[in-house]
Amino acid sequence: MSLLTVTDLTVSAGPRELVHGVSFDLGPGERLGLVGESGSGKSLTAMAIVGLLAPGLTAGGSVLLDGQQMVGQPDRDLVPLRGAVAAVVFQDSRAALDPLMRLGDQLAAPIRRRAAREGRALSAADLRAEQIRWLDRVAIPEPERILKSWPYEVSGGQRQRIAIAMALACGPRLLIADEPTTALDVSTQAEVLDLLDSLVRDAGLSLLFISHDLPVVSRVADRVIVMRQGRAVEEGATARVFTDPQNPYTQGLVAAARRLESALETPA
Ligand SMILES: Nc1ncnc2c1ncn2[C@@H]1O[C@H](COP(=O)(O)OP(=O)(O)O)[C@@H](O)[C@H]1O
Ligand SMILES: [Mg+2]
């Protein structure tokens, strides 16, 4: 059974439709990429899936997340699913992290929520051990110091690692990563991408990975959907889309990625 089934999803701002009938599904452990230029509707699609559209935006069609309809439901019905079924990592870790709260306290919140959900008692020592284990998993050194730090005291790459730890500490079955490495410099980008890749693989999670960057998506996704102007214009296995793109827009994306690749490979 699918973990996520999206059928004819639309997102509108008043009378203006921004996402025009997107459909796909995602099974347990599958890794799907959403790729397309800025403004093509990728983030709106992701936010509609978890019922987190900005005020003034409305979704239509159907999103079944673990069998629960997400479209048109009151927020109180969706809250239990966020984190527990699907968790999101955003492009800008500043959106996930509260600037006025120490990192340890922020990481404690999803750990406590999960323990409560699973009916586990969590002593102060248990909590501390779990915080440190999560920082270790996302390869953050000096965990004791980091737990006492404020968000502005750590690097952008470390903030994004902590945001990933917070998303995974919720214990989701689906991770939605919306441009998770776009705000990072190139070498940090590659490290965070590898980390995300191995964490998702080890936990057997489903992944919806969103990026404007086709080569980045192709590193982590088995299947991709190409979006343009609010529509899915192509869908297929990543390798096939890369080697044999059918849609003219996808052909342009692939050609641009290949030009960049060969420019980087050719010594100046
Ligand atoms: N709150 C909003 N109100 C009106 N239009 C919006 C809103 N959010 C996004 N849009 C528009 O919807 C389109 C798709 O946005 P988005 O999904 O964020 O694109 P992407 O993530 O692919 O870059 C864009 O044209 C954007 O300007
Ligand atoms: Mg976006």
Which CATH number characterizes residue 236's domain? 3.40.50.300
Domain annotation covers residue 132? no
Contact 249, 262 (CB under 8 A): no
- Per-residue pLDDT of 202-213, as tens digits, reads 999 999 999 999
Residue 39 near ligand 1, beta carbon < 6 Å: yes
Q: Which of 33-42, 54-63, 81-90, 165-174 has the lowest mean pLDDT?
A: 81-90
Rounded to an integer, what distance in angstroms lies between the CA atom of residue 149 and that of residue 228? Answer: 41
CA triplet 69, 74, 75: central angle to 5 degrees?
A: 100
| Residue 249 three-state SS | helix
Task: For residue 12, report the distance from its CA to the centre of ligand 1, in Å.
Answer: 10
Residue 206 lies inside a defined structural domain of this protein: yes
Å from CA of 245 to ligand 2 middle: 23
In a domain, 121, yes or no: no
Band the pLDDT of 256: cuts 50, 70, 90: confident
Quote the mean pLDDT of the chain.
Answer: 93
> Does residue 156 lie in a domain region?
no
Q: Is the CB of 36 under 6 A from ligand 1?
A: yes
**Whole-angstrom distance, CA of residue 164 vs CA of residue 194:** 12
Tell me the C-alpha distance between 33 and 65, whole Å. 17
In a domain, 198, yes or no: yes
Residue 195: inside a domain: yes
Q: What residues does 262 pair with on adjacent strands?
A: none
What are the percentages of helix, strand and coil residues in the chain, rounded to 5? 45, 25, 30
DSSP-derived secondary structure for 210-223:
EES-HHHHHHH-SE
Domain region containing 226: 4-99+172-265
pLDDT tens readout for residues 146-161: 999 999 999 989 999 9
Q: Which of 32, 21, 82 is nearest to 200 (CA)?
A: 32
Torsion of CA 103, 105, 109, 110, to 10 degrees: 30
Residue 210 lies in a domain: yes
DSSP notation for 177-204: EESTTTTS-HHHHHHHHHHHHHHHHHHT
DSSP β-bridge partners for residue 11? 19, 59
Q: Cα–chain-centroid distance for residue 87?
A: 7
Residue 250 lies in a domain: yes
Contacts of 121 (CB under 8 A, 6+ apart): 115
The pLDDT tens digits for 110-124 are: 999 999 999 999 999
Q: Determine the distance separating the centroid of ligand 1 and the alpha carbon of 43, expressed in angstroms.
A: 7
Question: Atom 19 (ligand 1): residue with closest C-alpha?
Answer: 39
Question: Ligand 2 center to residue 213 CA distance, Å?
Answer: 12
In sequence order, which residues have a C-beta less than 8 Å from that of residue 120 and are 6 or more positions away?
none
Q: Which residue's CA is minimally distant from atom 27 of ligand 1?
A: 39
Is the model's pLDDT at 107 over the cut of 80?
Answer: yes
Q: How far apart are CA 156 and CA 158, in angstroms?
A: 5
Q: Count the domains in the chain.
A: 1
